[in-house]
Each structure stands twice: as structure tokens, then as C-alpha cells.
Chain A
Amino acid sequence: TQLLEQSPQFLSIQEGENLTVYCNSSSVFSSLQWYRQEPGEGPVLLVTVVTGGEVKKLKRLTFQFGDARKDSSLHITAAQPGDTGLYLCAGDRTGANNLFFGTGTRLTVIP
């Protein structure tokens, strides 16, 4: 059973398009992190959100944490081929330090 479900699982878009990736759970998390993983490498942290309703921006990437701290979204504006990769959300449950990872969204941006 996956604590964190991501959608869509696969996404292939043209360069310049916008996209949104979702991360949903029935559990409450004290914080939620987004990672990007490239082939042959481990996941690398993009952002951490900790407050319900929080919005963080990282250049063309916008991250939002749900008010109830159960879900999150990642929006990419004007996607570029360099955005291609596996995007993973990970939740840190309250009182614990073990990270649970979502199912992942594999994004391909076509030039």
C-alpha cells in the first residue's frame, strides 16, 4: 500500500507547455518534499513545504502544500527539455523521520 499516490504516472509534453503533477495521501504529514531523479542518479531535493497552504516557487516551478497537509502539487511553467526526469514527492510523518516516497511521475519534455 502506497501512502502517497502521484498522478499522472507518465507525462509527455512539448517544450513550452505547462503541467501540473499531483501528490495525494489520506495521511497527514509534518512536511512534504519534492525530489527530481535523473537516470543513473539518486533523487535530489527540489523543495520542502511544511505549512498547510504554503506555496513555494523555484524559478518556473511552483509547489503547493494542501491546507490539511495531506496533498501537494507541482506546477511547471513553460517546460523545457532539461525538466525531463522522474519527480517524486516524499512525506515526513509527524513525529517520525522516515521518508515515504510517492509512486513518481515520469516527465518527458520534447524539444
Chain B
Amino acid sequence: DAGVIQSPRHEVTEMGQEVTLRCKPISGHDYLFWYRQTMMRGLELLIYFNNNVPIDDSGMPEDRFSAKMPNASFSTLKIQPSEPRDSAVYFCATKLSGTEAFFGQGTRLTVV
């Protein structure tokens, strides 16, 4: 398996624009997590899914953030409209229940 695949690796966008980050989980993994990492706040859990259903979105910072998992092989994290303070590295991670989490390489988002 190729592991967790995230795209794009880097994204630079202007304030106010819509940004969509994508994640392809490891086949068979039933949990999918979106994290945001910054120097100030470390690695923060935004939302996670189990069997494509959102379980806990309490970490999503604002209504500008939304996440979907339309099927077992794809998830998106959307920010609309984006703001400079959203600049961070966004990670997707997947796992099976009770096992380790495998992370993608992340998307480095810069909002100018």
C-alpha cells in the first residue's frame, strides 16, 4: 500500500479564497483524522471519521472549516473563506481500531 496520500503538498492562496485539501486513506482503515500543526499550538485534532461518519468535530475552529468523507477511499477538508491565521500544515491520518495511526506527508497551507 502507498500509505496515506494527501494532496496538494503545498498550497498558497489569497485571503478569502476557498481551499480544499484531499486525503486518500490506507485501504481498509476505518478511522480517518484531520490534524492541523503549527509551532504555537502543536498538533491539533480537527475532526475524525469512523466508517465515513463524522464522530467528533469539536476541534474544527470555525464554521469556515468543513470536512467530508463521501466514501471509504476519500476525504476532503475545506476552508471557505480562508484567512492568514489558517496557515499551517494539515495532516490526514488513518488507522484501524486499537492500532497505530499512519500519517500522510501533510499539506503546507499558506494564506497571504
Query: Residues of A at under 8 Å CB distance from B?
Result: 2, 33, 40-45, 48, 88, 90, 97-104
Contacts and interface: CB of A to CB of B under 8 A. Distances in A.
Nearest to B97: A97
Interface stretch (B64-72, B79-87, B101-109): B101-109
Contact of B105 (A40, A45, A101): A40
A48 B100 CA distance: 8
A38 B91 CA distance: 14
Chain B residues touching A, majority SS: strand
A88 B43 contact: yes
Nearest to B43: A101
Interface in B1-60: 4, 31, 33, 35, 42-45, 48, 50, 55-56
Contacts, number: 50
Nearest to B101: A99
Contact of B31 (A40, A45, A97): A97
Contacts of B56: 98
B45 A42 contact: no
B103 A43 contact: yes
Contacts of B102: 45
A42 B105 contact: yes
A102 B42 CA distance: 8
A93 B7 CA distance: 30
B33 A99 contact: yes
B93 A45 contact: no
